[in-house]
Structure 1
Amino acid sequence: MTTTPPSRGRRRAPGRMERAAGRAAALQKPRVILALLLLLALTCVMLLDGYLRAEVGGDQRVRTGASSSDVPDDVLNGGPILSFRGGQATTVSVPDKTIALTFDDGPNPTWTPQVLKILQKYDVPGTFFLVGSMVSRYPGIVDDLVDQGNEVGIHTFTHVDLSYQSDARVTREIEQTQLALAGAAGITTTLFRAPYSSETDAIDNYSWPVYEKLGEDGYTSVFIDTDSDDWKKPGVSKIIKWATPEDGEGASVLFHDAGGERSQTIKALPQYIEKMKAKGYTFTTISGVMAEQGATAPAAAPRGGAGQGATADEGDRLQAAHHQATGTTLYEGKALIAAVRVAEWTVPALSAGLMVVGVAVLGRFGMMLLLARRHYRQRNRRRFGWGPAVTRPVTVIVPAYNEKECIANTLASLARSTHPIEVVVVDDGSTDGTSEIAREAARSLGMTNVRVIRQENAGKPAALNNGVRSASHDIVVMMDGDTVFEADTVRQLVQPFADPKVGAVAGNAKVGNRDTVIGAWQHIEYVMGFNLDRRMYDLLRCMPTIPGAIGAFRREAVLEVGGMSEDTLAEDTDITIAMHRAGWRVVYQEHARAWTEAPGSLKQLWSQRYRWSYGTMQALWKHRKSLTDRGPSGRFGRVGMPLVVIFQIVTPVFAPLIDVFTAYSMIFVDFEAALLAWLAVLGVQLFCAAYAFRLDREKYRYLLMMPLQQLAYRQMMYLVLIHSCITALTGGRLRWQKLKRTGEVGTPAGAGG
């Protein structure tokens, strides 16, 4: 064993690396927070969209037979307008030969404008009891409705039966609708109609407390005298008949401008208006009825409305029940409308994106299965060979930075190599005695073929380049300081160099510490996501990465492309693409296995995958001109670059939408159908993973962790990619990151399982 003194390169100022690392760490936290905020914003947008899309149906009662013993008789037998002036329940009836046209469940973009057109044609006002969620989705219709001189009331925000709701839910339903009205038309209202209500004699002990509470808050509750039952779609003639009062009596008449298909209502309404006018009826609003009967609407907005009474100079735009929205209510209302607009645009866009991602993911699985199977059959044929056996010695380069826990195991595994090797350990300024431990391990193992080179801390690319310059042989094998090889690994890894066109070989990296949850997740990822991918890329001749844990290169090829570059955080991807562009072939050798210690905590895993993701983006951007490369050297740009961008950046960023939309669909659409769809996707992934495990002869028991991996691990990888994208947009630079190691991955006895 020989020892080489520290390299005499350009010296760095003391503490420079530490200061750079400190600055990088300080920049990472805001980016992580921003990534989490993006995920939270997406979740909130989807929850808002689902909340707004609560189904609105007909006004049939949802319960019957309840007692009304607590309700005063004069209310049960009174008129359709209920208020609590002075704390006393008072009802108002519609005068004879008078119709108060009321409409429920709107606004609707199809039917409400048609209703408004009919009312305008016949110069008839209407009172519209609006659902807040619909108001927030179609604010322009509400603004037109009010401008036309119609009156609006509250029909709750989600069209829920308030009888069984808590006081807090009742208040929330009212206040949210008031905010929607404020944002849409700049008003609040004192009118209220409960969903599933009808005539006053239907008030029972469940609903009466709700009306009392709202009355105390200043609201006027509106019921009906005559119901057109148009939601039943009985036909135009029956709608007109059922909406007609008897014997010239006045009535609060109910129609619907939303909540279902309303073509019969649209046909019946003009005929009904003409019929009633011919009988001498006049049409007015609920406020008009109250004014005519001397029961004016409250002079101030009710609690939750946060508005003020209208003044005379505000013109005819405001009905008596309307109040100008001001201050906080107005701004909060506009914010709600803006948020809904974002949700209305975002969710459909994400849905379309999900379809594209779903097709891409399934296409990728199909392509991986077909090509991996073909690759396996091709490489495992009895007559397959790369050429004459490669038996000449090779140099194994081990870059190490503070690897005291692992370096002895790494050298012990190399001592068992069945192929002649020279080992060059490049200590990149370690402070934990890595170089001394390496020398002692080599002595105790009787390894005379080990050289330990110390250099000032300059990063992993510099350490690898130092090793390449110091190598004695024309083939160099690169491995990490926390990795161990099987005895036959080096011999298997270098056999493809029998083909003079091969410039680099990727080995089969295995997770050694796989008996933890995080380790099992990464084990699945390595077998399925990495090695199955490499079979596909190998067959397509566009391998994007030689893994740092196990890779072999022709020394002349490394020097030809300028060695390991410090331009990116993914020097392995960078040099792989550079070798493709230089005309060298890069292949995958599945039988050359290396066992590496994967990150043991979520924090370390985040740090590693962030570096990989960001480094890959940097490498792809650096080699973007490969898209226009010609000839055989341009194959990576034509095939590999698009595949990597689609499958390693774009698709993973949007892949969590599968889980997010599954949750969305379970809550707001169809629980069983959404669950079955998610299980079907999981089944496809399990099948692919099982096939990958079969090819690598791994134990299937680790696949039991796959459902949990899909739920938790995929979301983390999404945040890592978002973090990387933010860093790419804002600028940033990381040095060689050192993960905490335990040294638990020892020298393997053979193939894993």
Structure 2
Amino acid sequence: MRLLLPLLLLAALMAMLMLRGYVHSEILADHRIRTEAPSDQVPEKILDGGPVIDTRDGRATSLRVPDHRLVLTFDDGPDPTWTPKVLDVLKKHHAHAVFFVTGTMTSRYPDLVRRMVAEGHEVGLHTFNHPDLSYQSRQRTDWELSQNQLAITGAAGIRTSLFRPPYSSFADAMDDRSWPVTRYIGSRGYITVVNDTDSEDWRKPGVDRIIRNATPKGGRGAVVLMHDSGGDRHQTVQALNRFIPELQARGYRFENLTEALHAPSAHTPVTGPDLWKGRAWIFLVQAADTVTDALAVCLAVVGGLVIARFALMFLLSGAHARRVRRPGFRWGEPVTEPASVLVPAYNEAKCIENTVRSLSASEHPIEVLVVDDGSADGTAEIVEAMGLPDVRVVRQANAGKPAALNNGIAHASHDLIVMMDGDTVFEPSTVRELVQPFGDTRVGAVAGNAKVGNRDSLIGAWQHIEYVMGFNLDRRMYDILRCMPTIPGAVGAFRRSALREVGGMSHDTLAEDTDITMALHRAGWRVVYAEKARAWTEAPESVQQLWSQRYRWSYGTMQAIWKHRRALVDRGHSGRFGRVGLPLVSLFMVVAPLLAPLIDVFLLYGVVFGPTQRTIVAWLGVLAVQVVCAAYAFRLDRERMTHLISLPLQQVLYRQLMYVVLLQSWITALTGGRLRWQKLRRTGAVEAPGGGVPAPRGTTAHEAERRPVA
């Protein structure tokens, strides 16, 4: 289900976007317009005849509108702005008209077509996508007619026998290219209606000129061409409001085509399956438009959130760096008291020696407790065989990382507790820098600066960018806001009294580090970030490992947010996290990333269906903002800029993986699924740094599943 639902959602979204592109003439549209051609094959009686051409049953006849009868016709609608105004004027003056509607506009605005029919007007086909049928095959012509008819049926429950070709003119303009199309249209049961009086309102020549153009000479009848869509039609509306009463005063009647010709109605009611098919079509189009419009709003929201987040990170992370780097800055009195370093370990035989040796070089007095959580690979024996002073092994049956940490806390000798992962190495100064903020008695926990040690591979480089930009830059911002959401499991420190107050590490979530951090905030403790407390961790080196890790992180973060949801109503100093931190974490770490794929979806849509150039420029603009932000983050962390070369590729590939992981986490949460704690088998690719720089080795890691905990 967790895999099927994302695929179904993606398929539904793409189907809706395709439907929208189809209905908005962005797919399969053909805007070619034919040039003049000979008219040798067109019968003289058609060229010299009236604007109503009937080629049904092999006939070739034409009709004119009787004197003092005017048939107003409007092309290219319905338009949500101008068609209602045209209908209002017609209703005001008790006049009828014929609306030649396109399938695209009818599908989008079916209520207007329904109103036309209800108020006694006639509707006719104007094709679905408004192509010049002279360029189209018979199959495409049939498709244009059937889709146009389907939309009208869904909108008004009728079929119509009237048709007007796009780009048509007078009957004497019929040529050898358009005449075969007209004959074929007749064979399909339609009457072709052109015009013999063109108002030229599409030129916007002014109200007076439109009225002069639309007025027939000598009291003759006419089919008058106007438009209710395709641009600004306010001149058309104003002209109608004068034109109709003026000619009514001169004895003209404004009628439907069949009324003027005393012919049977052009409308036929539709019932049964054909009616339901039309209604289903209208429903799907409306749903696609609604969903797409909602997604566009969400995209605007995401864009606003991204810009706001970047602005906050720039301002606040810079402020944090200036504050902690100014000469003479210190948290309080220097902290020299020893600390207990807890290393929870489960099957860490390949990493544990590097981890412990890095701790033995610490410049700060420490004791090291390696809590062996039922390892089956000799992890505990490796540590014991090292014979290092102040390093103890605490063994327990497999119970999970939170239990191992709590066991370590119980065995720790000191009040300052440092926690790290079994695949991480510290620099000699890490512990010293990590505990200095405890010089401020209000500080209950400290987040260190986690670095990716195995960054030489492409996937490692992408994670390196993410750690520097997405984690550490965020931590600077959250430190200033005093709502740090997570102390990384790879490098963090706590006061024993603070841990005791919140009940220690909890099994309630899969993100015990986020859980404990939120609990400390709610208890009123400050949580800060120590940029110089660097730890080098081994990041996943395969997509499968990365998926497993981020899936657990995302799901665990959601669990922690839900667990501490009542922080929103906490009061006093402890309520700051609920008022500021929890909404920001929910917005930036859960909601915004869930909506962020819309950027890529609309990018793909825009590239394929247009406007391609503007879409690419917009995407490059977003990428430029991210590059600037990433470069700023690298500068603050004093990292080499060379790794940013892979940033564009990261945005194309890596982000998509993170999107799917987050979506799967959402689905797991919403469907009530349970995710087991998973262990990544490490390779020991990150060794103890010499002079503060790790020595990465490129090897391939495999994932091993950790036994489920109670």
With the length of structure 1 as denominator, give the TM-score of the two structures: 0.82
Q: Distance between the aligned counterparts of 1:212 and 1:745, measured in 2?
A: 79
Give aligned pairs, total.
Answer: 689
Superposition map of 1:309-708 within 5 A: 320-430=265-375, 433-434=376-377, 436-440=378-382, 443=385, 445-662=386-603, 670-708=611-649
CA distance in 1, matches of 2:182, 2:258: 18
SS of 1:31's equivalent in the other structure is coil
SS where residue 269 of structure 1 aligns? helix
Tell me, in whole angstroms, the C-alpha distance in 2 between the residues paired with 1:542 and 1:282: 75
Higher mean displacement: 141-150 or 552-561: 552-561
Determine the C-alpha separation between the residues in 1 that align with 2:678 and 2:46: 76
| Alignment CA distance shift 1:424-1:143 (3 Å) | same
Conserved 8 A contact 2:435-2:493: yes
For residue 92 of structure 1, what is the amino acid of its counterpart?
Answer: S
The CA deviation string for residues 207-250 of structure 1, in whole angstroms up to 9 with x for no partner, is 45544554443333322222121211223333233233445554
Q: Which amino acid aligns with 2:685?
A: E
Residue number in structure 2 paired with 1:153: 124
User: In 2, Cα distance between the equivalents of 1:270 and 1:580?
Assistant: 69
- For 1:367 and 1:161, how far apart are their aligned partners in 2? 53
Task: Name the counterpart of 1:737.
Answer: 678
For residues 409 and 207 of structure 1, the distance between their equivalents in structure 2, rounded to whole angstroms, comes to 82
2:703 match: none
- Equivalent residue number for residue 251 of structure 1: 222
Question: CA 1:397/1:103 → structure 2, altered by over 3 Å: closer, same or farther?
Answer: same
Take 2:66 and 2:162, find their aligned partners in 1: how far apart are those partners?
A: 22
Q: Kindly tell me: are residues 751 and 277 of structure 1, through their superposed partners in 2, closer, same or farther at Cα, counting changes over 3 Å?
A: same
Deviation at 1:562? Answer: 0.9
Q: Please report the RMSD computed on the Cα atoms of aligned residues, expressed in angstroms.
A: 3.3
Distance 2:631 2:71 in 1: 68
* Alignment match, 1:127: 98
Kept after mapping to 2: 8 A contact 1:94/1:100: no
Could you say if the C-alpha distance between residues 695 and 123 of structure 1 is closer, same or farther in structure 2, counting changes exceeding 3 Å?
closer
- The alpha-carbon distance between structure 1 residues 121 and 531, as it changes in their structure 2 partners (threshold 3 A), is closer
For residues 429-488 of structure 1, give each alpha carbon's deviation from its aligned partner in whole angstroms, at most 9, with x where no partner exists. 44xx33x14523652x44354444444433222222222223333332222233232333
Selected match of 1:116 from 74, 80, 87 = 87
User: Offset at 1:694?
Assistant: 0.8
Query: How far apart, in 1, do the equivalents of 2:4 and 2:261 lie?
Result: 55
1:202-213 equivalence runs, <5 A: 202-204=173-175, 206-208=177-179, 210-213=181-184
Residue 192 of structure 2: aligned partner: 221
- AA matched with 1:373: G
Distance 1:741 1:190 in 2: 73
CA-CA distance at 1:290 after TM superposition: 6.9
Preserved CA contact (<8 Å) 2:437 2:443: yes
Q: 1:7 maps to what in 2? A: none
One-letter code of the match for 1:160? Answer: P
Whether the 8 Å contact between 1:459 and 1:735 is mirrored in structure 2 is: no
CA-CA distance at 1:365 after TM superposition: 1.7
Aligned to 1:530, the other structure's residue is in SS state helix
Once the two structures are superposed, residues 666-701 of structure 1 have per-residue CA deviations (whole angstroms, 9 ceiling, x without a partner) of 667754444444333332222121111011111212
Q: How big is the shift at 1:390?
A: 4.0
- Whichever residue aligns with residue 395 of structure 1, its letter is S
- How far is 1:187 from its partner? 1.7
Letter in 2 for 1:363: A
Of stretches 661-670 and 242-251 in structure 1, the one that deviates more from structure 2 is 661-670
Question: Is 2:180 aligned against 1:198?
Answer: no
Cα separation, 1, equivalents of 2:341 and 2:38: 88
CA gap of 1:216–1:533, structure 2 versus 1, over 3 A, is same
1:628-663 C-alpha deviation (Å, 9 max, x unpaired): 334433332233223222322233333334444455
- Give the Cα separation in 1 of the matches to 2:648 and 2:146: 41
* Superposition pairs of residues 288-327 of structure 1, within 5 angstroms: 292=263, 320-327=265-272
Amino acid at match of 2:462: W
Q: Aligned pair in 2 of structure 1 residues 276, 501: CA closer, same or farther (>3 Å)?
A: closer
Task: Provide the rounded CA distance (Å) in 1 between the counterparts of 2:14 and 2:368.
Answer: 52
- Quick one: percent identity of the two aligned structures? 60
How far the C-alpha of 1:574 sits from its partner, in A, is 0.9
Q: Deviations 1:322-361 (Å, cap 9, x if unpaired)? A: 3333344322322332233334444444444444443332
Taking structure 1 as reference, are residues 635 and 261 closer, same or farther at Cα in structure 2, changes over 3 Å only? closer
1:610–1:71 Cα change, 3 Å: farther
CA 282–368 in structure 1, closer or farther in 2 if over 3 Å, else same: closer
Shift of 1:727: 3.3
Letter paired with 2:459: I
Equivalent residue letter for 1:727:
T
Q: Which amino acid aligns with 2:103?
A: G
Mapped partners of 1:490, 1:582: distance in 2? 25
Contact 1:524 1:703 in 2 (8 A): yes
Q: What 5-or-longer segments of structure 1 have no aligned partner? A: 1-29, 293-318
Letter of the 1:557 partner, please give it.
A
Distance 2:606 2:82 in 1: 27
Q: Contact (CA 8 Å) 1:36, 1:719: kept in 2 or not?
A: no
Moved more, 347-356 or 646-655: 347-356
Residue 469 of structure 1 aligns to a residue in which SS?
A: helix
Say if 2:82 is the partner of 1:137. Answer: no
1:102-139 per-residue CA deviation (whole Å, 9 max, x = no partner) reads: 22111123332343344445554322110222212222
Tell me which residue corresponds to 2:702: none
Kept in 1: contact 2:103–2:127 (CA 8 A)? yes
Task: Give the 3 Å change call, closer, same or farther, for CA 186–404 of structure 1 in structure 2.
Answer: farther
Residues 426 and 452, structure 1, Cα contact 8 Å, conserved in 2: yes
1:465 touches 1:563 (CA, 8 Å); kept in 2? Answer: yes
Tell me the amino acid that sits aligned with residue 275 of structure 2. Answer: L
Alpha-carbon distance in 1 for matches of 2:175, 2:399 = 80
For the residue of structure 2 that corresponds to 1:638, the secondary structure is helix
Whether the 8 Å CA contact 1:75–1:89 is kept in 2: the answer is no
Can you give the 5+ residue segments of structure 2 that lack an aligned partner in the other structure?
696-710
